[in-house]
Amino acid sequence: MKLNIALLAGDGIGPEVIDQAVKVCDAIATKFNHEISWKPALTGAAAIDAVGEPYPDETHEICKNSDAVLFGAIGHPKFDNDPSAKVRPEQGLLKMRKALGLFANVRPTFTFPSLLDKSPLKRERIEGTDLVFLRELTGGIYFGEKGRRDGGETAFDNCVYTREEVQRLAKKGFELAMTRSKRLCCVDKANVLETSRLWRETVQAMEKDYPEVEVSYEFVDAVAMRLVQWPNSYDVLITENLFGDILTDEASVISGSMGLMPSASLGSDIGLFEPIHGSYPQATGKNIANPMATVLSAAMMFENFGLLEEGKAIRAVVNNALNRGIVTEDLAEENNAYGTKEVGDWLAENV
């Protein structure tokens, strides 16, 4: 297969972890006879510094004309501490999600047998955890009208959802549940929020089309609690944009390191694949960041092309590295950490 992949390394540790994923993908291409053509493009603070815009038109053109986007990370502290900044790196990611129609963010959380004791949660709580969040990505409070009034003394962010936006996300949730254990949890705050009542009502109306799927409805605050009490009681969870943002960060620590969790953003022909961690400024350029989340995001990319064996090969080599302790400092025993690049080299050589 011939694949054109837009490569958006972004900020912070983005370029370092992306380099490792590229090595692994190239090794997969050689092994399985594919041809990958990488199309690097600017995004985030790196793009603001270069051209004044976090998602330049040129980058959008490259993404639009690719089969998928592999993304590193976005964000820079110089913007975080400046609430008055008009242009922010994060706007690039939001603009890209909207422009590419990526309304469904797939964020799995699973455990690795060799890492059960790395998790901050007790082994017996997390053993067997294998859940997937489907987070709505192009609506809700992130994209509603925002602004100031009363001479700047009052601020507002509107949360808006249409039935159609809920339906298309929920449809993906039901379909995913059908391929798994047929359990779907709709996460909302329907006791308080009108948008949540629309979510609940819409999902309830869809239940009849998927009679085999057992649907539960839970409030977001209760899910936040049960997620760390009994994560292995969940399978597929669907939720709106902001709840999904928060809960998936929470869920990511279950596996033992946020540096392990991949994600896919889907909705149109072009998927975007990225680690769920951020730009980790403190680690930038130190060759210590864990590249595995990005490498596993590449596995999701191959799987989304229907190249299941390729995805499996990547997952297998990551597991193999974890079992042998070929890991970065977030997972290493004292003084036994490998560098970002060394982990990437090992994965590419052993794929």
Is 125 known as a binding-site position? no
> Phi, psi (5° rounding) for residue 338?
-95, 160
Give every CB contact of residue 195 below 8 A, 6+ residues apart in sequence.
Answer: 140, 159, 160, 161, 240
Residue 90 touches which of Mn ion, ligand IPM, none (Cβ within 5-8 Å per kind): ligand IPM
Q: Which of 19, 26, 53, 90 is the binder for ligand IPM (CB under 6 A)?
A: 90
Quote the CA–CA distance of 65 and 59 in Å, as a whole number.
Answer: 10
Is 200 flagged in the annotation as binding? no
Class of residue 52 by CB neighbours under 10 A (exposed 0-12, middle 13-18, buried 19+):
exposed
Q: Which does 344 bind (CB under 5 to 8 A by kind): ligand IPM, Mn ion, none?
A: none
Q: 99 in helix, strand or coil?
A: helix
Among 5, 6, 36, 93, binds ligand IPM (CB under 6 A): 93
Q: Which does 74 bind (CB under 5 to 8 A by kind): ligand IPM, Mn ion, none?
A: ligand IPM
Q: Which does 26 bind (CB under 5 to 8 A by kind): ligand IPM, Mn ion, none?
A: none
Alpha helices in 136-238 (DSSP H): 163-179, 194-206, 220-229
Please name which of 273, 340, 339 lies closest in space to residue 73, comparing C-alpha atoms. 273
CA separation for the pair 201, 331 (Å, rounded): 43
Report how far apart, in Å, the C-alpha atoms of 268 and of each of 55, 141, 163, 311 are: 18, 22, 19, 20
Element (H, E) at 239: strand 236-239
Catalytic choice (221, 269, 286, 312): 221
Which 3 state secondary structure label does DSSP give 238?
Answer: strand
DSSP classification of residue 52: S
CB of 120 to ligand IPM, least distance (A): 20
What are the φ and ψ backbone dihedral angles of 242, each rounded to 5 degrees? -70, -40
Instruction: Please give the size of the binding site for Mn ion, defined by CB under 5 A.
Output: 1
> Is 19 labelled a binding residue?
no
Residues 6+ apart with CB under 8 A from 13: 72, 73, 279, 280, 283, 284, 289, 340
Question: In the numeric block, which tokens belong to residue 95?
Answer: 């603009």
Q: Tell whether residue 245 is a contact of Mn ion (CB under 5 A).
A: yes
303 binds Mn ion (CB under 5 A): no
Partner interacting with residue 310 (select from Mn ion, ligand IPM, none; CB below 5-8 Å by kind): none
Q: Between 206 and 258, whose beta carbon lies closer to Mn ion?
A: 258
Q: Closest approach of Cβ 127 to ligand IPM, in Å? A: 26
- The window from 30-38, 89-97, 300-308, 343-351 that contacts ligand IPM (CB under 6 A) reads 89-97
Decide if 249 is catalytic. yes
Q: Which of 16/245 has CB closer to ligand IPM? A: 245
Among 5, 27, 74, 301, binds ligand IPM (CB under 6 A): 74
Instruction: Tell whether 107 is in a known binding site.
Output: yes
Dist. CA 12–CA 295, nearest whole Å = 17
Please state, in angstroms and as integers, the Cα–Cα distance from residue 346 to each residue in 166, 295, 322, 341, following that order: 42, 12, 11, 9
Whichever of 16 and 310 has its CB closer to ligand IPM, that residue is 16
What is the number of other CB atoms lying within 10 angstroms of the CB of residue 186? 24
Q: How far is the CB of 74 from ligand IPM (least distance, A)?
A: 5
Q: Catalytic residue among 11, 23, 161, 189, which?
A: 189
Instruction: Quote the least distance from Cβ 137 to ligand IPM, whole Å.
Output: 7
- 189 carries an active-site annotation: yes
Is 221 catalytic? The answer is: yes
Question: What is the smallest separation between the CB atom of 277 and ligand IPM, expressed in angstroms?
Answer: 9
Contact footprint for Mn ion (CB under 5 A): 245
Which residues are catalytically annotated? 142, 189, 221, 245, 249
Known binding-site positions: 97, 107, 135, 221, 245, 249
Known binding-site positions for Mg(2+): 221, 245, 249
Known binding-site positions for substrate: 97, 107, 135, 221
Contact footprint for ligand IPM (CB under 6 A): 74-75, 90, 93-94, 245
